[in-house]
Amino acid sequence: MTAIAQATSGIGRVFEHRFYTYKRTFRASLFSSFLTPVLFLTAMGLGLGGYVDASNNDALGGVPYIAFLAPGLLVATAMQAASFEATFPIMAGLVWSRVFHAMYATPITSRDVALGNLVWIGARLALISTVFTAVIVAFGAATSPTILLAIPVAILTGLAFAAPIAAFSATQRTPDRFAALFRFVVMPLFIFSGTFFPVEALPAVVQPLAWVTPLYHGGVLARGLSLGTFGTNP
């Protein structure tokens, strides 16, 4: 067996483990992965959006609020899902069940474990993003068929968070710091990186902090694809 085939086989075994684990526990993630974003889109996009659209919405470029919100929420949901998948499941495999240690005792390498987990997270994000994109289309919040390209944008944005967070999780022996990670990093980014309102509405000193985050750029790209304005002059 060639080195490439061996590496692929190891990654596939790790992916298979994560798949079968999820198959037993997927019901617990249905609400957070699928229903919560839909409720956000309903409450914020249709509820609050009705008031925003009734006022002067020049700040949104004249588009309905739900059309502005939906692609940003798609990418933000991918970020949140990736962040969760890169914290507790990683710690479980290294500390609680030590299944990753058991894998390392086989021909599976540490690189296989790391990449296999990232491939699994990418697959989870693909499922979440595809379903959420279908909901966006059903809500009439997408004005261009290029919204389909927002799915890989959401996946890549999520992976941009998953990789460093997984590396951080691998250094932890207790989940104590995860609460701080979600409270002071993930949640502020979710709110202040252009998902719910343009970052230009933030104070000038804060805007550069939003611009350097993957979530901001993923949201801008997904929004341009959803509205069909990607590649056009501002």
pLDDT tens string 178-198: 999 999 999 999 989 998 888
pLDDT of residue 232: 61
Model pLDDT, residue 62:
77
Residue 196: other Cβ atoms inside 10 A: 18
The percentage of residues in the chain with a pLDDT greater than 90, rounded to a whole number, is 59
pLDDT at residue 204 in the model: 87
For CA atoms 3, 6, 12, 13, give the dihedral sign.
negative
Q: Give the Cα separation of 1 and 7 in Å (integer).
A: 10
Q: Are 132 and 207 in contact (CB under 8 A)?
A: no
C-alpha angle 77/208/202, rounded to 5°?
75
pLDDT at 127 (0 to 100): 93
Q: Which of these, 16, 26, 33, lies nearest to 120 by C-alpha position? A: 16
Residue 35 has pLDDT above 90, yes or no: no
Give me the chain's average pLDDT, please: 88
Average confidence (pLDDT) over 203-230? 90
Distance CA 185, CA 215 (A): 12
Asked if residue 166 has pLDDT above 90, the reply is yes
- Average pLDDT value for residue range 11-26: 91
